[in-house]
């Protein structure tokens, strides 16, 4: 994981918390996160949803939706990881360029 920027001093290499939905609610997942000193922010099954978690997760879901507009990325056809990473970089560049172009007009 790349260093997390923001605070002075040695850069962090570990996230402080992990956001997840009820599909990731298991004692094994929570135990592994606690072992790594990462705070799990995961709704329990059968309990009401955590307030505001959807707003934070929406950014991730929106990113996946934007990338899946490029049909080649919705299903991975390339066997080589480098090619898939190159197509993801190209798709991200196109998404940013389109948004930039839209704000300039």
What digits encode the pLDDT tens for the residues 64-80? Answer: 888 888 877 777 777 88
Q: Measuring CA to CA, which residue among 27, 4, 30, 31 is closest to residue 15? A: 4
Angle between helices 81-104 and 53-68 (to 10 degrees): 110
Residue with the bigger pLDDT between 63 and 97: it is 97
* Per-residue confidence band for 24, with pLDDT thresholds at 50, 70 and 90: confident
pLDDT at 5 over 70: no
pLDDT at 3 over 70: no
Q: What is the pLDDT of residue 28?
A: 92
Q: What is the pLDDT of residue 79?
A: 83
Cα–Cα distance measured from residue 60 to residue 65, given in angstroms and rounded to the nearest whole number: 9
* Whole-structure pTM value: 0.47
Residue with the bigger pLDDT between 33 and 65: it is 33
Q: Measuring CA to CA, which residue among 23, 3, 21 is closest to residue 11? A: 3
């Amino acid at each position: 994981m790349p260093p997390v920027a923001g605070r002075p001093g040695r850069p962090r290499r570990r996230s402080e918390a992990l956001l997840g939905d009820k599909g990731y609610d298991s004692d094994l997942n929570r135990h592994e996160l606690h072992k790594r000193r990462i705070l799990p922010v995961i709704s329990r099954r059968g309990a009401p949803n955590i307030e505001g978690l959807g707003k934070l997760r929406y950014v991730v879901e929106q990113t996946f939706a934007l990338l899946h507009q490029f049909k080649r990325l919705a299903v991975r056809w390339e066997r080589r990881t480098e090619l898939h990473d190159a197509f993801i970089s190209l798709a991200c560049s196109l998404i940013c360029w389109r948004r930039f172009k839209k704000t300039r007009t």
